[in-house]
Amino acid sequence: MKPQPPKQIKVAVLIYPGVELVDMNGPIDVFLHANRYYADGFDKPRYKVYTVAETNEPVLSECKAVTIMPGYSIKSCPEPDIVVIPGRIEFSEKATSIPADQPIIDWIAEMGKKGKVIMSVCVGLYSLAPTGLLDGKKATTHYLSIGLAVGKWPKIQFERNVRYVADGKFVTTGGVTSGIDGALYLVEQNDGAIIAQQVADIMVYNRDAPLPQWTLLPPYDTI
């Protein structure tokens, strides 16, 4: 018999123009799949997952490939327990990584000051670091972006060549699919190693797979 879920955990996934789709969807899938391991997992979910944007207007993903209707705006959303910050890519030929707009950064800062768990995925760090919440803490980001991050936010203790870093209420991940690793870490913290592994299995995801060999010293030009 499946256990009854304990207190519901609300997960707010931020979206904005240029949001990286795997950054967003990877963690969403982890939390939604975790619900199936509890009784009434879909009627009374352990994780209530919803998207949050600056406004209620539709949002275009990176390269304008997908149009997303946000569930809430930052002014109307339920107060979350976990905030997920995907990366953002500008709409240009260079497709440069950029931070969220200031109202979103201010909202992230507010959630951090309230003690919420905050996870950045890939260059979602660019929207978390400006809040100052990571100052003095360990963190990571995509290996192609970490050089810029080290120079821009010297108070953060950056770690390289890792899938994710957890420091207190903050989880930062290395890039794209590593958002899945960060979310599985949070599920393990909340629900235990067995459920976290079951979620990884159903997603056909190998948590122990080695990192690609060139993520430390790539033999090609960085972005």
Q: Cβ contacts of residue 193 below 8 Å, gap of 6+?
A: none
pLDDT per position as a tens digit, 44-76: 899 999 999 999 999 999 999 999 999 999 999
Eight-class DSSP state of 154: T
State how far Cα 63 lies from the chain centre.
Answer: 19
Separation of alpha carbons 89 and 71, rounded Å: 21
Q: What is the structure's pLDDT at 34? A: 96
Helix-, strand-, coil-residue percentages of the chain, each rounded to 5: 30, 20, 50
Choose which CATH entry (3.40.50.720, 3.40.47.10, 3.90.180.10, 3.40.50.880) describes domain 9-202. Answer: 3.40.50.880
pLDDT greater than 80 at residue 23: yes
Q: Do residues 89 and 16 make contact, with C-beta atoms less than 8 angstroms apart?
A: no
Strand 157-158 versus strand 138-139 pairing type: parallel
**pLDDT over 60 at 223, yes or no:** no
**How many whole angstroms separate alpha carbon 206 and alpha carbon 28?**
17
**What sign does the dihedral 139-145-147-150 (CA atoms) show?**
negative
Closest CA to 54 of 114, 102, 115: 102
Query: What is the spatial distance between Cα 50 and Cα 11, in angstroms, rounded to a whole number?
Result: 6
Which sequence spans correspond to the domains of the chain?
Answer: 9-202
**Mean pLDDT, rounded, for 166-180:** 96
Q: How confident is the model at residue 213 (pLDDT cuts 50, 70, 90)?
A: confident
From residue 46, give the alpha-carbon distance in Å to each of 11, 31, 199, 210: 10, 9, 14, 31
Q: How do residues 108-144 score in pLDDT, each as one tens digit?
A: 999 999 999 999 999 999 999 999 999 999 999 999 9
